[in-house]
Amino acid sequence: PQRMKKVCCIGAGYVGGPTSAVMATKNPDVSVTVVDYNKDRIEAWKTNELPIYEPDLLDVVQHARDPVAKRIPNLFFSTDVEGAIAEADIILLSVNTPTKSMGHGAGQASELCHLESAVRRIGEVATSDKIIVEKSTVPCKAAETVRDILNATAKPGLNFEILSNPEFLAEGTAVRNLLHPDRILIGSLNTPRGLAAARSLADLYASWVDRSRIITINLYSSELAKLAANALLAQRISSVNALSAMCESLGADIDEVSHCVGLDQRIGPKMLKASVGFGGSCFRKDILSLAYIAESLHLPQVADYWRSIVGINEYQKERFTRRIVKCLYSSLSSKRLAVLGFAYKKDTGDTRETSAITVVNNLINEGANVRVYDPLVEEDRVWEEVLASSDRRETVKQRLSVWPSAYEACADADAVIILTEWDEFSNKISGPGDARGRGGDRTKRVLDWSRVAGLMQKPMYVFDGRNVLDAAPLEKMGFRVESIGKGVV
Ligand code: NAD
Ligand code: UDX
């Protein structure tokens, strides 16, 4: 197949930006242009203050974007969506596909309006054959929708091949995941043109991914495999979280249970960490989409099965809040609670679907004053997220505050509540006095728990929603540590 020379990526978000940067770095002969109609986002990608935080991302972006030594830049960011489409041989669709908020399937189905508008633009602008790649996570058979829109809008005589190439990166480890993927899926039609298009895309990945990891399959298997992967990963977390509730009553320790089951090679150790509940823009949305598809296939039992994973996740957040209320003598009225961590996981500033939104709102509704600190999340994001999901906005404005350090958040607090597993909060990783934290990197600070003890009200409760604490040394300092899935024998 023909070597692709010009790639256009539509959507400069968490997937489009890092994926394009790695592809450009590893294919110096290929020009990669990332386009988005969000002007601020595009401008930020051109600076060293990238619009998203990912470890090592700036190095990769700079390598391909900025002229150095003999290397000619081959990574570009632009709002000229039409221009980039017109020039491209291959177009990666990396637009957002959130859960529908209104109309038929609201709260369940994936919203494809952004995908549709991007595809319409391709149809209107294209004057040459193109390979169109679904990088966004889409419902099964979305490729047929894409084909239908192109057939209706494009100039006659042009050929479009549609591929499914779902992205499996996780935030916080995006660059590592992109450089060393477990697998690259490329789904195509089983026609000579479809297979040739798949080979063209495979060649771009083969610049840095071993061919044995590049899997070419049926278009619809590829679409379904992405939803299936996320559902199975989330299912492991909900299974462990369901067991954590049992551990708390039984006097068992969920970390020990997870460790033991994970030693079975058929199960494996990853994605078995009990928590206050999974968050992020993908798991909930993709499971609900899978359930909605099952429902539309007249498989209500299958739909219920998948939805129960989300159900346990909601239950875990509520259960965590109830435990806080119970320990604090069944009333949070006017109590000061320090919330450490607001991002949905460490090493990202992303707050989409973070469990902290639910927990903070629950605490405020119980009458608490909630003082939030997160090393990376902007203050405005905390306010927007909490206000957007509250039906008591005036109360939120009175009772929520956001602080630039953990110590300020913990001042006079009745309890500390850890909602993100930032290394900073853990006393397992390294103690105070560690050299990290110098040089101004906010993600490398270390919390001095003895200093926290000096700031708090008594009794000093710590609710560890991420099991990042070794309770024994903290208990020696006088803390009462309540962890997920750890019962009192
Ligand atoms: P995002 O919201 O960060 O980025 C999407 C970008 O697309 C936005 O900047 C938006 O302005 C832009 N956009 C939307 N419609 C457009 C149009 N018609 N023309 C030009 N630009 C347009 O989303 P994301 O987190 O990068 O996710 C993108 C897709 O990848 C989703 O389908 C998601 O499910 C999937 N995915 C995400 C992750 C993740 O970790 N975030 C991982 C794997 C897959
Ligand atoms: C997920 C998938 O892992 C990734 O493959 C897909 O492409 C996008 O969705 P992401 O949401 O970025 O990635 O992060 P992930 O590491 O999967 O964590 C999701 C949520 O689950 C986080 O809130 C995390 O804290 C939580 N989690 C993860 C647990 O509670 N326990 C675990 O063992 C792992």
pLDDT tens, residue by residue, 2-49: 777 999 999 999 999 999 999 999 999 999 999 999 999 999 999 999
Q: Is the pLDDT of residue 438 over 50?
A: no
pTM over 0.80: yes
* Structure confidence at residue 1 (pLDDT): 67
pLDDT tens, residue by residue, 191-222: 999 999 999 999 999 999 999 999 999 999 99
C-beta 273 within 6 A of ligand 2 = yes
> Tokens standing for 180?
């060393």
**Nearest-CA neighbor of 195 among 224, 179, 219?**
219
Residue of 19, 96, 97, 283 best suited for mutating to test ligand 2, as the one with most atoms within 8 Å of CB: 283
Interface predicted TM-score (ipTM): 0.99
**Nearest-CA neighbor of 419 among 489, 342, 307?**
342
Domains of the chain and CATH, by start: 5-209 (3.40.50.720), 249-483 (3.40.50.720)
Q: Is the pLDDT of residue 449 over 70?
A: yes
Contact 363/332 with Cβ under 8 angstroms? yes
Output the CA torsion sign for 451, 452, 454, 460: negative
Task: Tell me which residue has its CA closest to atom 25 in ligand 1.
Answer: 14
Residues facing residue 99 across a β-bridge: 110
pLDDT tens, residue by residue, 253-287: 999 999 999 999 999 999 999 999 999 999 999 99
C-beta 15 within 6 A of ligand 1 = yes
Backbone angles phi, psi at 249, to 5 degrees: -85, -30
* Structure confidence at residue 430 (pLDDT): 63
> Tokens standing for 429?
């990783």
> pLDDT-based confidence at 311, cuts 50/70/90?
very high
Residue of 52, 92, 94 best suited for mutating to test ligand 1, as the one with most atoms within 8 Å of CB: 94
Q: Is the pLDDT of residue 436 over 90?
A: no
C-beta 13 within 6 A of ligand 1 = yes
Distance, CA of 24 to CA of 204 (rounded, Å): 9
Output the CA torsion sign for 67, 69, 72, 73: negative
C-beta 272 within 6 A of ligand 2 = yes
**Nearest-CA neighbor of 484 among 251, 248, 312?**
248
Q: Quick one: DSSP state of residue 211?
A: G
Q: What share of the chain is helix, strand, coil (3-state, %, to 5)?
A: 45, 15, 40
Task: Tell me which residue has its CA closest to atom 10 in ligand 1.
Answer: 11
> Tokens standing for 292?
């909605």
Q: Nearest 5°: CA angle at 250, between 246 and 251? A: 120
* Structure confidence at residue 242 (pLDDT): 98
Which residues in 138-164 are b (16+ Cβ under 10 Å) and which e?
A: bbbebbebbbebbeeebeeeeebbbbb
Contact 135/15 with Cβ under 8 angstroms? yes
Is there a catalytic annotation at residue 282? yes
